[in-house]
Amino acid sequence: MCGTATNTECGMNVCCNGSNYCGACFLGYYRGAPATSQTCRVVQPSNISVTKFTYLYYAFASFDASFNLTALKSATFQTWVVYASLVHLPIGKLSGSANRAKFITFIKAWMLKYGLQGVDLDWGVPGSPADKSGYRALVKEMSTSLGTTCKISMAFPVDCGDMFWIDSAGMVPYLDSIGLITYDQSNADGTVSAHTSIVTIASNTLLLRFDTVPPAKLNLGLATYSRGFTLGSTSYSTGVMALFDINDLIASKGLTSTLNSAGLFKSIQFDNQWIAKDDASTVALKKGWTNDYCFEGTMV
């Protein structure tokens, strides 16, 4: 807690919300498809510990060319989704106002029908001036249409190149929350690095501050998987492992993880394998970092 209520200065001389709390929000994404396609470690809606989350996002809803919903995987999701559905937008279809209006009309009716409190827009990486202006216009027009009925959030990449065609400053006034894709970070030369190092994250999120994006709307992305490297003298090959598989590996091989205090991540090494990972302790450290900089919170 920070701000006027406690006479404690917030990071960057700002405060997150009217209650003077920083970093308290915790967003959770739930993918519906694995519940019907996976054969092991399946998480059903009834398995979700909703008390851990401030908001729960259902991922992913998709639309066909006519903006009809095509992939709502759980018929009962409206009884347990706390916040919204994650929507994959038809890229390239937002330059025309008629398409935007049709999309917004459908989204509004759908959210009201299922009692959802908001919509999270996830477009990945727009790639043209038309994408940039179309995305900005969509958010502005959606905000006007939804009013206070439903909230709007959006996933932002944090790499400078990926952000090139995203008008963050132009969209922020119409967004209630922003989820930062602060994982899958890598060195430009492909050398060994942790994909969730707070050192890289801090550098990349600094660009958003230069673009006048208030930290009170930012949520730090946390990864439930890790990236590892097969070490070699001339090249590196990478791989991905879920955290539960890494925990099984640590137990079976009797490995000990090492904390990188600068990057706020842990790593393990055996044979020619090097894997960076997060666990409950490093997640707590990262949440502390978001609190120091008065972010809205974190997401997973």
Which among 283, 289, 279 has a CA at the least distance from the CA of 255? Answer: 279
Q: Order the strands of the 273-277 sheet from edge to edge.
A: 237-242, 225-230, 273-277, 265-270, 258-260
Residue 84: the pLDDT is 37
pLDDT for 283 = 94
Distance CA 225, CA 41 (A): 14
Distance CA 248, CA 265 (A): 18
pLDDT at 64: 59
pTM: predicted TM-score of the whole model, two decimal places: 0.81
Q: What is the pLDDT along the chain (300 residues), one digit of tens a residue?
A: 454 445 555 444 444 444 455 567 888 787 766 656 667 777 777 777 767 777 777 777 666 556 555 444 344 333 223 333 445 555 566 778 888 898 888 888 877 877 777 888 887 777 888 888 988 999 999 999 999 888 888 888 888 778 888 898 999 999 999 999 998 887 777 788 889 999 999 988 887 877 788 999 999 999 988 888 888 755 555 688 888 889 999 999 999 999 999 999 999 999 989 999 999 999 999 999 999 988 999 998
Helix (H, G, I), strand (E, B) or coil at 99: helix
Look at residue 266 in the predicted model and tell me its pLDDT: 96
- The pLDDT value given to residue 229: 86
Nearest CA to 60 out of 128, 119, 109 is that of 119
The pLDDT, as a whole number, for residue 92 is 62
pLDDT of residue 222: 94
Q: Using an 8 Å Cβ cutoff, are 32 and 77 in contact?
A: yes
pLDDT at position 11 is: 45
Task: Enumerate residues 6+ apart whose C-beta is below 8 A from 94.
Answer: 100, 103, 131, 134, 135, 137, 138
Which domains are present in the chain?
11-224+279-299 (3.20.20.80)
What are the helix (H) ranges across the chain? 34-37, 97-114, 129-146, 168-171, 198-210, 243-253, 280-292
